[in-house]
Structure formats: C-alpha cells, structure tokens
Amino acid sequence: MLNEKELKMNILVTGANGQLGNEMRIVSKGSSDLYIFTDVEELDITSRDAVMDFVKENDIKVVVNCAAYTNVDKAEDDEATAELINAQAVGYLAEACKANDATLIHISTDYVFGGNDGNTPRTEDEPVNPTGAYGRTKLHGEQAIQKVGCNYLIIRTAWLYSEFGNNFVKTMRRLTSERDTLNVVFDQIGTPTYALDLANAIMKFIEILKKENNYQLSTVNTQLSGVYHFSNEGVISWYDFAKEICELSGNTCDIQPCHSDEFPSKVKRPSYSVLDKTKIKNRLNITIPHWKESLKKCINKL
C-alpha cells in the first residue's frame, strides 16, 4: 500500500497572478498535492540560479509555467524582453526540471502558426510560421524545452479569457455597456479558450503523470511528452465572439463587422488559428466544452 507521503508531490505554478495561474489556484484547492504559486515577486524565472535553486530546494516534481510576455504589440518594440521571458526563462525552467527529474508543463500559443494560410484546423505537427515578435519568442521557448530534453508537455492555446486580469471578454463587456456602436474584426477566425477549462485539462495531465509513475515520481516518464493543442470547441470570428458577449451581458450595443486593416497593427495576427484538439482529447479521454457553454459560465461568475 502507498502511504500518504508517497501520494503527495510538490507542484510549482509560475505566473500565478495571471489568468491561467488564478484558475490553477481554484482547480487545485482540493488536491492532495502541495501547490506552490509564484509570480515575479516570489521567483524571478529570468534568473537561472534562482530557478535552479527553487526547484531543487522545494523538491518540485511538476512545473506548470503560466508566466509569459503576452502583449503582442509591445513585443514588436521590446523583443529582447519578450525573448527573455518567453524563451530564455523557459529554457531555465527546462534545465531545472531535467536536473531534478521533474516534468515541465508549458503554455504556448496559436501565434506560432501566424503566417500559415488555409482554413484547416492546425495540428501539432503542422509546420510553424510565426509572423511577429510574440510568436517568434513563444516558438523559441518551445524549442528551448526540446533542446534541453526534459520531460515536457507543451500546450498551445488561443484567445484565452477568464474572470481574472485583462482579456477580450472583459473588454467587450465594458465597451458594449459604454457605447451605442462598436466595430469588431470578422476576418480573424479561431476559437476562444476559457482558462478554467484549460486548468482542468492540466490537472488531468498531472493525475496521469502520478499514476503512470506509480505515485513515486522517482523516474521521469516520457510517454506523455510532446506538444498538445487545447481550446474550446467551435469556430468563430472575433465579431461573433463580441456579439455573444454583448448579448449574454445584457447590453444593447450595435456591433458591426469590419476588416483587420481598419485597425493598423505592428504585427500580423493569425487570420485562421483554429486548433485541432484530437490528440489531447484522446490522450486525456475528455470532452471539451463548446465555447458558448464556457462563455456563459465565465460571464455568470463576472
């Protein structure tokens, strides 16, 4: 029989004050494991020594990296900082995981496909083609993990929102309550991701990691290692998303579709970034909620 001590492990969640980090706090509350939540104040992941020491001293067995430089436009003017956080620091986390026989669960993005044409959902093995600094630095983070060779799960996601922080849902709720009319782009197609649903998927991965290692986690299990895609189900434009947010919020703003070029930007955003979730659904044996269902849940909480 396994004793209680063997059933527990220490899990580090970085970027814990962000959208996904806050949802991880919620979904992990009933866990028997010890979750350690840090943001830059508690652990500067851009310091290799700090990362190596923290993971070793706290006997971390899983790192969930929610930390990222996510301001797409600002990244064009400060790619060095985006590279430091999205790539170099990720490499440090990977090194620490390899040195301490831990698993790194890293969150990446649909922006690695930014320049790809076509309207077929993106699979994990489709060639990457980032168009801006944000996508490039996130791709460099993925490559840093793979170069180090630790046990890893890279989860690419898209259009993340929650009741925490700044995101499209909260912005549209505010704007549609303040304005009579609003233009939203209809030529960028994808699928929203409720951060709570992504957090629940991460928790399922962690449970599988424990079971497949007989709860000992004394040796790295590589059966799960790889790249996965996760978003909610369905395919919509930002315009469709804004319309639904407005309606569910009880606002009466007149939302009209417009083209992306009506909002000049320093970076070309993906025109089609629907992610194929077949791999993660089969691996976790899960049904992913439709975006409308999850949006209703989030707005009810707001």
Residue with tokens 């890279």: 154
Tell me how many degrees the CA angle 104-107-110 measures, rounded to the nearest 5: 145
215 annotated active-site: no
CA distance 241 to 291: 9
CA distance 148 to 220: 14
DSSP per residue over 154-181, as a string?
EEEE-SEE-SSSS-HHHHHHHHHHH-SE
Could you say which of 35, 134, 239, 272 is catalytic? 134
What DSSP designation does 187 have?
A: S
- Asked if 160 and 19 touch (Cβ cutoff 8 Å), the reply is yes
- Asked if 176 and 249 touch (Cβ cutoff 8 Å), the reply is yes
What DSSP designation does 293 have?
A: H
- Active-site positions read 134
